[in-house]
A and B are shown apart, each in its own frame.
Chain A
Amino acid sequence: MQNKDIKRLSLFLLFAPFALWIILLIILPHIGMVILSLKEKVAPRVYEYSFANYLEFLNEPIYWNTLLRTGSMSLLVTALALLIGFPIAYYIAKIAGPRSRGGLFLLCLIPLWVSDLIRAFGWILLLRETGVISNFLQWTGLVGAPVEFLYNDVAVIIGLTYTVILFMIVPLVSTLDGMDNSMIEAGYNLGGNGFTVLRRIIVPYAMPGIVAGCIVTFMLTAGSYLTPILLGGKNSSWFTEQIYNQFITRFNWEGGAAFGMLLLLFTSLVIWLGLKLSGQTLANTVAKS
């Protein structure tokens, strides 16, 4: 009997930190946010439950336009990360020799050691009016005056893609690594050309990794704050910026909470749609890798 108690106690002790994390940092704050977002200020210090904050979002085009813009740009970043990340992952997993594989993988991970902030400043050094690229173009004589590359959508997309591409490469490498080389050879042997093998064999096989990578990069992009603000400036119109404004600038916590919930619902909806369209489930994509 005593043995059983010890087992139960150890299970409880092991489970406690996890339960605390889930409850204190995820469930409770979100319940708080939901409650907060459903409150409406009717008079100083007087609140009523209503959907007013959500209605305000719908009635003000700038808000939902920003959300749609954030969503579509995040999708673009995800697609770019996939397009650039897939060949890199394929090279690491399938073409590179076993010795260079580890090194290449490490090279991909090294940028993670530097914070988002520093990485964004790196891009600023390159792209600003007095930055490396502008100076180089003047030196070659291609342009006569300094060029500003910062504070536009392209800079935001480049910066975001760079920030999140690692999270695309890692799951892709691990799925492609598990793919037997003879599968690819069989694809050629049975008469497929390079494109057929990629479309019919490699991509379907890597689908769980592709979907997992896309989910992670999309979530990170849509929820990112630093990179769009630093590289896009005041015109970046990222939805997280709206949330920040509600909380900090306007001190409208109720509105900010509603926006936060809307962002969560919106990204969840996009991911649900993505899973439906690709015929994958969360269980065999994110949970697997």
Chain B
Amino acid sequence: MTDNSTYDLEAIGVSKNFGTFRAVKEVSFDIPSGSFFSILGPSGCGKTTLMRMIAGFEEPSGGDIKIKGKSVLGTPPNKRNVKMVFQHLALFPMMNVYENIAYGLRCNGVGTAEIKRKVQDVLDRIALPDVAEREIHQLSGGQKQRIAIARCMVLDPDVLLLDEPLGALDLKLREAMKIELKLLQHQFNTTFVYITHDQSEALVMSDNVAIMNQGEFEQIGTPQDLYHHPKTAFVAGFVGDSNRWSGVVKASDGTGGKVETEQGLPMSFSSAGKQAIQEGSRVTIFVRPEFIKTVRPSEAESTAEAGDNRMEGVVDSLLFNGANSRVLVRTGSGELVESDVTLTGDNDLKPGEDVQLVWSSRQAMCFADQGSA
């Protein structure tokens, strides 16, 4: 199918200016039907403005937004088949659960019997069949969340927008809701557009993620793609944790080479984002903690083939967090390097121990600094 309508939502060069401030700059994307798409970016990057334009609360200053292949410019928010779950959910406190869900159906002039059937149906689908007569303040955080989604889904929207709806929940509930949201999306088979500044939410739930920074999309891709093959330094730094070094390229063959860091350490790298890196250019190198091995000098020989980068250091501290434990190693030049370790509780590394850090040049992602030669 090359038909346009396979995309539920398309944005073509969408911009938004507030006075002289450009909140959203020429953003383009298309979202296939039934997928989970996240827009991930730091606060103030314009992601909420973009979402408000899709919902119709703001008019774009330029570009076009299409829903199911039809431009919605000039269509008021109540005529767009795009529903939104608000950051603080915006459930109506003066109505009970049933009335909250029925509100949209009533606006569409659906008959009473039909409303009753649809509300019960959607409550069954979110696994809360018995809450119809409850007041909003009697619900728990997770239940409110699901009611807010049900209130939108009962209207069969083309696209469901979610504006950081998990932000107000506590950590445990947030983790549970992540999985739940993904399941709900599968169940309803509707296109979800999810806005967040929390990368783990975006990575866990999404089919595709767009990284937004200062009003622009830096990269759109699958979560794995963004994590392992970032196209820009911003993406590499924003998605996942990284150790970073700045340096100057000493030798380059176009796809990889050698760098001397500001601390004067030699390091080999592979070029990321298919950029050709020139000799002498200033670069930033990102290495993820899970790709750095921390070994005792006695074991160093056995890991020789694991990596062509090597650094001496002293264990500064252990950050124990079960399976996600980290070790902070202070290198000879005084900086701290994070590395993932498996702590078994038996003969583990201890602060003060001499260690070697080993990693492969293939995992050292290198980006030329912006605006330099």
User: When each residue 180-215 of chain A gets 1 if its CB lies under 8 Å from chain B and 0 otherwise, what string results?
Assistant: 101101111111110010001100110100000000
The chain A residues found within 8 Å of chain B, CB to CB, are 180, 182-183, 185-193, 196, 200-201, 204-205, 207
A185 contacts which chain B residues (CB < 8 A)? 55, 57, 77, 84, 86, 90
Contact A193 B94 (CB under 8 A): no
Contact A192 B107 (CB under 8 A): yes
Given contacts A183-B92, A185-B57, A205-B93, whether A193 and B78 have CB atoms under 8 Å apart is: yes
A190 contacts which chain B residues (CB < 8 A)? 78, 83, 103-104, 107, 151-152, 155
A207 contacts which chain B residues (CB < 8 A)? 94
Given contacts A188-B78, A189-B55, A193-B78, whether A180 and B88 have CB atoms under 8 Å apart is: yes
B71 contacts which chain A residues (CB < 8 A)? none
User: When each residue 355-367 of chain B gets 1 if its CB lies under 8 Å from chain A and 0 otherwise, what string results?
Assistant: 0000000000000
B155 contacts which chain A residues (CB < 8 A)? 190-191
- How far does the alpha carbon of A200 sit from the alpha carbon of B151 in the complex, in Å? 15
CB-contacts of B32-82 with A (<8 A): 55-57, 76-78, 82
Instruction: Kindly list 9 other residue pairs between chains A and B, CB separation below 8 angstroms, not including A191-B78, A207-B94.
Output: A185-B55, A185-B77, A188-B57, A188-B76, A188-B77, A190-B104, A204-B92, A205-B92, A205-B93
Return the chain B residue nearest A197 by Cβ. B78
Given contacts A182-B86, A182-B87, A186-B86, whether A191 and B107 have CB atoms under 8 Å apart is: yes
- How far does the alpha carbon of A204 sit from the alpha carbon of B90 in the complex, in Å? 14
A-B contact pairs, 20 of them (CB 8 A): A185-B55, A185-B57, A185-B77, A185-B84, A186-B90, A187-B92, A188-B57, A188-B76, A188-B77, A188-B78, A189-B83, A189-B84, A190-B152, A191-B104, A191-B155, A192-B103, A192-B107, A193-B107, A200-B92, A200-B103
CB-contacts of B262-279 with A (<8 A): none
CB-contacts of B89-142 with A (<8 A): 90, 92-95, 103-104, 107-108
Interface of A is mostly: helix
B95 contacts which chain A residues (CB < 8 A)? 204
B108 contacts which chain A residues (CB < 8 A)? 191
- How far does the alpha carbon of A205 sit from the alpha carbon of B91 in the complex, in Å? 12
- How far does the alpha carbon of A201 sit from the alpha carbon of B87 in the complex, in Å? 18
B94 contacts which chain A residues (CB < 8 A)? 204-205, 207
A280 to B: closest C-beta gap in Å: 11
A186 contacts which chain B residues (CB < 8 A)? 84, 86, 90, 92
- How far does the alpha carbon of A191 sit from the alpha carbon of B109 in the complex, in Å? 10
Return the chain A residue nearest B148 by Cβ. A186
Contact A189 B88 (CB under 8 A): no
The bracket for how many chain B residues form the interface is 20 to 34
- How far does the alpha carbon of A251 sit from the alpha carbon of B92 in the complex, in Å? 57
Enumerate the 7 nearest inter-chain pairs by beta-carbon distance, A residue then B residue, closest first. A190-B104, A191-B107, A186-B90, A182-B90, A182-B86, A204-B94, A188-B77
A188 contacts which chain B residues (CB < 8 A)? 57, 76-78
B56 contacts which chain A residues (CB < 8 A)? 189
Return the chain B residue nearest A196 by Cβ. B107
- How far does the alpha carbon of A204 sit from the alpha carbon of B108 in the complex, in Å? 20
B115 to A: closest C-beta gap in Å: 13
Contact B92 A201 (CB under 8 A): yes
- Central interface residue in B87, B92, B155, by most chain A CB within 10 Å: B92
- How far does the alpha carbon of A264 sit from the alpha carbon of B306 in the complex, in Å? 91
A190 to B: closest C-beta gap in Å: 4
Return the chain B residue nearest A207 by Cβ. B94
- How far does the alpha carbon of A30 sit from the alpha carbon of B155 in the complex, in Å? 59
- How far does the alpha carbon of A191 sit from the alpha carbon of B88 in the complex, in Å? 19
A200 contacts which chain B residues (CB < 8 A)? 92, 103
- How far does the alpha carbon of A183 sit from the alpha carbon of B92 in the complex, in Å? 7
- How far does the alpha carbon of A204 sit from the alpha carbon of B103 in the complex, in Å? 13
A196 to B: closest C-beta gap in Å: 6
A34 to B: closest C-beta gap in Å: 40
B93 contacts which chain A residues (CB < 8 A)? 205
Contact A180 B78 (CB under 8 A): no
A180 contacts which chain B residues (CB < 8 A)? 88, 90
A204 contacts which chain B residues (CB < 8 A)? 92, 94-95
B130 to A: closest C-beta gap in Å: 23
A191 contacts which chain B residues (CB < 8 A)? 78, 104, 107-108, 155
B90 contacts which chain A residues (CB < 8 A)? 180, 182-183, 185-186
- Central interface residue in A186, A187, A188, by most chain B CB within 10 Å: A186
Return the chain A residue nearest B161 by Cβ. A189
A130 to B: closest C-beta gap in Å: 52
Contact B88 A182 (CB under 8 A): yes
Contact B77 A189 (CB under 8 A): yes
A191 to B: closest C-beta gap in Å: 4
- Central interface residue in B76, B78, B108, B151, by most chain A CB within 10 Å: B78
